[in-house]
Amino acid sequence: MDQLKSRLCLVVLLAGLSACAADKSQKVHDKKDGNTVEKYYKQLSAMQQEQERKNYESYIADCKFGLTELSWQTKRSELLEDAYQVCMREFRAEMDEEGFHKAVVLELKASALWLDSALWLHKKGLYVPLALDLCQQLAIAPEKFLYLPRMSRYPVQAARDGIEGKVVVTQVFDGAGFHKEFVEIVSTPERVFSRNAERLFSRAAICPTGSDAMSTVTLDFTLKNNKTGHELSEGS
């Protein structure tokens, strides 16, 4: 009888030890899961901070780009230096997204981000009043270019072959002044310069008119002293 009791006590003890071990194992497992989740959140936070840093550096680079890659209607001057200083001050002040896009449109008219910022503001219903004020400040007549990107590169093969020419571009802009469609692109010689002109003018913008407007411009491609050049003349 005593032997039977001893065996029962041993079974109970083993069961208790097993339950205790299982409970301890579960707690360790839960703690491990908690640490893993916390570790993942820290990694995610670090990744987000790194992405924000890269975005910030990209924006700063575009500020500088606006000073070095100039549009056809912009000259290097004190105004550009002022624009750069304004952009840098705004970044240091950690402006919000709307403020950033407004700064690009108003201050960095030669920036590669200009059209992207203008379109972002347009979606918010903020662009047209801003553009009209800007056109008035710059004394730009209606239907004339408010923004034209950096000139496309001279076609390499044409430069090697010493070919000069021109492109006449007729296009329609919508009421906000953004490119809507091309009516005609005539290149002389045929097809040599048309692709360059299409890339350029598809990202152009004129002063808002409130309705569709047609524009015709001539872009001359010239070679002088082995240097490539572009000259734009606006038509009707």
**For the domain that residue 150 is a member of, what is the CATH number?**
3.30.2420.10
Same structural domain, 47 and 77: yes
Pair (11, 53) in one structural domain: yes
Looking at the fold, whether 168 and 224 belong to one and the same domain comes out as: yes
8 compared with 189, residue with greater pLDDT = 189
Final residue of a domain: which of 80, 111, 139?
139
State which residues form the domain around 131. 1-139
Q: Is the pLDDT of residue 67 over 50?
A: yes
| Residue scoring higher pLDDT (163 or 27) | 163
pLDDT per residue over 9-58, tens digit each? 544 444 554 555 555 555 555 565 667 777 777 777 777 777 767 766 76
On whether both 96 and 165 belong to a single domain, the answer is no
Q: Tell me: do 2 and 70 sit in the same domain.
A: yes
Say if residue 71 is in the same domain as residue 156.
no
pLDDT of residue 236: 43
Most distant pair of Cα atoms in the chain: their distance: 117
177, 130: one domain: no
Shared-domain flag, residues 130 and 69: yes
21 DSSP 8-state letter: H
Same domain, 3 and 116: yes
Cite the beta strand spans of the chain per DSSP E. 145-147, 165-173, 179-188, 205-206, 213-224, 227-234
Q: 158 and 114 in one domain?
A: no
pLDDT at 13: 46
Q: Please, which residues have CB within 8 angstroms of residue 132's CB and are 6 or more apart in sequence? A: 207, 208
Last residue of a domain, one of 117, 139, 161: 139
Do residues 84 and 76 lie in contact, with contact meaning Cβ atoms separated by under 8 Å? no
Regarding whether 130 and 106 lie in a shared domain, the answer is: yes
> Count of CB atoms within 10 A of residue 110's CB?
23
Domain count, the chain: 2
Instruction: Assign 143 a pLDDT band (cuts: 50, 70, 90).
Output: confident
Query: Do residues 95 and 46 lie in contact, with contact meaning Cβ atoms separated by under 8 Å?
Result: no
Q: In the listed set 110, 139, 168, which residue is the last one of a domain according to the structure?
A: 139
Kindly report whether the global pTM for this prediction surpasses the value 0.75. no
How many whole angstroms separate alpha carbon 128 and alpha carbon 221?
A: 33
pLDDT tens-digit map of 76-91? 555 666 666 777 676 6
**Same domain membership, residue 32 and residue 125:** yes
